Amino acid sequence: MRREGQTTIAPGTVIVRDLAFRYPPWRPGLAPVQALDGISFHAEPGHTIGIYGTGGSGKSTLCLALNGIVPQATGGTIRGEVMIGAWSTRTHPIAELASRVALVLQDPDASLIGRSVEDEVAFGPENLGVPPVEIEQRIETALDRVGVAAYRSRRSSQLSGGEKQRVAIAAALAMQPAVLVLDEPTAALDPQGSAAVAGVLRTLVTEKRTTIILVTQDPDLLAALTEELLILDAGRVVRRGTPREVFAHGAELRRLGLTPPPLANVAEQLNAMLETNFTFLDHPTAVQSLTDALRKSPLALGDPTS
Amino acid sequence: MTPEHRELIIQVRSVSYRYGGDVDRQAISEVDLEIRRGELIALLGHNGSGKSTFARHLNGLLKPYAGQVLIHGLDTRELPVHRLARHVGYAFQNPDDQLFAATVAEDIGFGPRNLGHDAAEIERRVGMSIERLGLSDIAGHHPFLLSRSTRRLVALAGVLALAPEVLVLDEPTVDLDAWAADRVLTVLRQQVADGGAVLLISHDMGLVAATADRVVILRGGHVVANGPTRAVMTDLSFLTGNSLALPPVTELAQALAPHGMRPDVLDPQEFCDAYAALWHARHPRRVMSGP
Ligand SMILES: Nc1ncnc2c1ncn2[C@@H]1O[C@H](COP(=O)(O)OP(=O)(O)OP(=O)(O)O)[C@@H](O)[C@H]1O
Ligand SMILES: Nc1ncnc2c1ncn2[C@@H]1O[C@H](COP(=O)(O)OP(=O)(O)OP(=O)(O)O)[C@@H](O)[C@H]1O
Ligand SMILES: [Mg+2]
Ligand SMILES: [Mg+2]
């Protein structure tokens, strides 16, 4: 922790208070687009917050508000407050905010500038003034963690979609940020790559106490990684809670255009068919509950020969 | 009609491709594939396995350096791109590689206009694509001010408006919410029901298991599997050996196999039916006391 002004507040503390934002109208004379409205949440170092919502509900806009691009680079009108430590992202210089907040954009092409993979990853730390020897170590570690160490000297423009996404994640990791914001980080990854990234995020939380804000359409990933989940609809938070609490509202999520994890849907369907009370969300708990339900059958318990 | 008797649309014969400069590396090697009417084929493989490279061969964006891609028997090297566009529509992995017009409707109309259709036909096709993907509210919007998943839907609508025989979709449900993904699924199913074909590239194992008739897997540019979905998507060690995974319900069924669960279910409905049968067998009194 370090002192900032009068209060002691960790650089990794994220406070969003009654945030509302409108993009400027796309043509003069048209109405501005209200992208966010009345968003509030709070994350301490080591916390992971998940953001889930329909297309166009404001998830990416919220990510951009966390590193100051919104509103500093986009223009538009903003209300409320976004604080990273004691810095307000409305006014604090974007370049300095980058020393605390790293953002993995939804479109990997937008994060990369088409240079060699090692240059892409070195870019951020160089701007922060990290010494060359340490930059070298950071490049190696970051590329290795996401499985693209072999591509170091390739041009990022000549990689596959998933390879680009891995490089974009590596570039964010190399910043060693107090706050890591990820917008659909596993969308283009193969299943093994997704699992690897989930593992990396878990390690950051336990070993570095990184604050993580995760946007994804993958409810399994949200259930596995987040402590608090916000459901966005048309720029507003319409439900919040632990993944377990939120995903218990399957019908409501479906009405919004979302879905609980696939296995939670299975639990719901079985409950309707068998009048059971399954509540599992993930694989281990599903195996446990479904096995128990078979074992607890009168036949299995009452059979003297078994 | 058995699948083998359906009309062949695309025939890929031993196609290899390498991107310029790097002579040592082949992006795809000696790939063979046939696509027939009424087929929904999934193409899977690790990141960098060559899926997008392969897909770009089907509409002539890339030409093989060895082997042939034949569309109704004609070599893509000899067919102009606008002729190919009637047969094969390709939706890019990155939608922004595809969008450019000032409004959503204009963007979607670009393809049919290029094919030389008259104004009424263009309008009909644009209207239908917009309707099928649920984009009517934003038809007049500027594509680049839309959210990412909406841009993906617009790009897809542009491909649908070409009314191609084969839809080649490169990770079409990425970033989509469940509602939009459902619409895309409906479009895929309609395409094959109408006698067209689909090549679906995806990393979503559950989606593939629930939709595809046949699964092709690439590894390092080589085809390592080409078989019925049930055989391929239930083979744990093969899938994990290719950086893939079992669909969630299949994984669950296999964990319950020691208790009598069938290990080869592919979708949630199959899983629930199989589990319910097992459960009823162990709870006979509940069955008796039913209504
Ligand atoms: N640069 C921009 N100018 C004007 N409006 C914009 C701009 N970017 C986004 N919008 C609008 O703001 C709203 C929120 O968009 P945002 O990209 O934040 O949604 P999202 O939840 O990330 O969607 P997706 O799931 O598709 O990624 C949408 O209505 C979108 O059209
Ligand atoms: N423009 C390019 N120049 C050189 N090499 C390329 C280019 N595009 C892709 N490659 C390489 O060709 C191989 C196949 O890439 P391709 O994009 O076809 O993979 P993919 O299976 O679509 O992967 P992903 O799942 O990540 O989208 C990869 O090793 C990739 O690095
Ligand atoms: Mg977004
Ligand atoms: Mg690809």
Q: Is the ipTM of this complex over 0.90?
A: yes
Tell whether B148 and B29 lie within a shared domain. no
Q: Is the pTM of this model over 0.90?
A: yes
Confidence of residue A297 (pLDDT cuts 50, 70, 90): low
Look up residue B224 and give its two tokens: 């390592």
Predicted confidence band of residue B4 (pLDDT cuts 50, 70, 90): low
Characterize B209-228 residue by residue with b for buried, 16 or more Cβ atoms within 10 angstroms of its Cβ, and e for exposed: bbbbbbbbbbbbbebebbee
Whether pLDDT at A212 is above 90:
yes
Instruction: Give yes or no for residue A1 having a pLDDT over 70.
Output: no
Over the stretch B135-178, which tens digit does the pLDDT of each residue have? 999 999 999 899 999 999 999 999 999 999 999 999 999 999 99
Query: Are residues A113 and A143 located together in one domain of the fold?
Result: yes
Residue A84 structure tokens: 């990273």
In terms of residue numbers, what domain contains A94? 8-100+179-186+205-259
Question: Quick check: is A246 in a domain?
Answer: yes
Q: Is residue A59 part of a domain?
A: yes
Give the residue from A211, A148, A159 showing the smallest Cα distance to A182. A211
> How far, in Å, from the CA of B276 to the mean position of ligand 4?
39
In A, which residues are within 8 Å of B260 by CB distance? 294
Going by CA atoms, what residue is nearest to atom 12 of ligand 2? B27
- pLDDT at residue B2, as a whole number: 60
Task: Report H helices in A30-153.
Answer: 59-66, 69-72, 94-97, 108-111, 117-127, 132-145
Q: Is residue B196 part of a domain?
A: yes
Query: A124 with A271, same domain?
Result: no
Assess whether A251 and A266 both reside in one domain: no
In a domain, B154, yes or no: yes
Residue B283 Cα to ligand 2 middle (Å): 53
Kindly report the protein residue whose alpha carbon is nearest to atom 17 of ligand 2: A160
Collect all residues of chain A within an 8 Å Cβ-Cβ radius of residue B180.
54-55, 257
Ligand 1 atom, smallest distance to A106 CA: 27
Chain A residues inside the 8 Å CB shell of B285: 298
Ligand 2, atom 18, lies closest to the CA of B50
**Residue B236 in domain:** no
Put simply, the answer to whether B47 touches A54 (Cβ < 8 Å) is no
Residues A217 and A267 in one domain: no
**Euclidean distance between CA atoms B62 and B55, whole angstroms:** 9
Residues A93 and A220 in one domain: yes
Lay out the sheet containing B222-228: strands in order across.
B88-91, B166-170, B197-201, B40-45, B214-219, B222-228
Determine, yes or no, domain membership for A293. yes
Domain assignment of residue B92, yes or no: no
Mean pLDDT in residue range B253-265: 97
Among A107, A192, A287, beta carbon nearest to B94: A107
Three-state SS string across chain B, please? Answer: CCHHHCCEEEEEEEEEECCCCCCCCCCEEEEEEEEECCCEEEEEECCCCCHHHHHHHHCCCCCCCEEEEEECCEECCCCCHHHHHHHEEEECCCHHHCCCCCCHHHHHHHHHHHCCCCHHHHHHHHHHHHHHCCCHHHCCCCHHHCCHHHHHHHHHHHHHCCCCCEEEEECCCCCCCHHHHHHHHHHHHHHHHCCCEEEEECCCHHHHHHHCCEEEEEECCEEEEEEEHHHHHCCHHHHHCCCCCCCHHHHHHHHCHHHCCCCCCCCHHHHHHHHHHHHHHHCHHHHHCCC
Same-domain pairing of B120 and B5: no
Q: What is the pLDDT of residue A7?
A: 62
Mean pLDDT, rounded, of chain A: 94
The number of distinct structural domains making up chain A is 3
pLDDT at A140 over 90: yes
* Residues A85, A213 share a domain: yes
Of A56, A60, A290, the CB nearest to B275: A290
Q: Does residue B63 sit in the same domain as residue B114?
A: no
CB contact under 8 Å between A290 and B256, yes or no, is yes
Closest residue in A to B280 (Cα–Cα): A274
- Tokens 């895929």 map to which residue? B188
Q: How far apart are CA B132 and CA A284, in angstroms?
A: 38
How distant is the alpha carbon of residue B265 from its chain centre? 21
**Pocket lining: A58 vs ligand 1, CB cutoff 6 Å:** yes
pLDDT at B290: 45
Answer yes or no: are the C-beta atoms of A117 and A146 closer than 8 Å. Answer: no
Note whether B2 and B143 are same-domain residues: no
B289 and B204 in a common domain = no
Give residue A34's identity as a one-letter amino acid code.
Answer: Q
Tell the residue nearest (CA) to atom 3 of ligand 2.
A158
Domain count for chain B: 3
Whether A194 is in a domain gets the answer: no
Q: Three-state DSSP class for A116?
A: strand
pLDDT tens sequence across A69-92: 999 999 999 999 999 999 999 999
Please check whether residue B123 is in contact with residue B169, taking contact to mean a CB–CB distance below 8 angstroms. Answer: no
The two structure tokens encoding residue B19: 């991107």
How many residue pairs from chains A and B have C-beta atoms closer than 8 A? 154
Q: Which ligand is nearest to the CA of B145?
A: 1
pLDDT tens-digit map of B123-138: 999 999 999 999 999 9
Considering the domain boundaries, does residue B233 fall inside one?
no
User: How far is A137 from A79, CA to CA, in rounded Å?
Assistant: 41
- Within a domain: A146: yes
Inter-chain contact A192–B240, Cβ cutoff 8 Å?
Answer: yes
What DSSP element (H or E) covers A224?
Answer: helix A219-225
Question: Which of A112, A157, A159, A186 is the pocket-test mutation for ligand 2 (most atoms within 8 Å of CB)?
Answer: A159
Q: Do B146 and B253 share a structural domain?
A: no
Chosen for mutation from A156, A160, A276 (greatest number of chain B CBs closer than 10 Å) is A160
A50 and A68, same domain (yes or no): yes
Tokens matching residue B239: 């899938």
Assess whether A13 and A95 both reside in one domain: yes
pLDDT value of residue B291: 44
Query: Separation of B224 CA from ligand 4 center, angstroms?
Result: 17
Q: Which residues of A touch B171 (CB under 8 A)?
A: 161, 187-188
Residue whose token pair is 């209300």? A79
C-alpha to C-alpha distance for B171 and B151, rounded to whole angstroms: 14
Instruction: Say which residues have a Cβ less than 8 Å from residue A63's Cβ, sequence separation at least 6.
Output: A103, A105, A106, A181, A183, A213, A215
Domain extent for B259: 247-291
CATH number at residue B194: 3.40.50.300
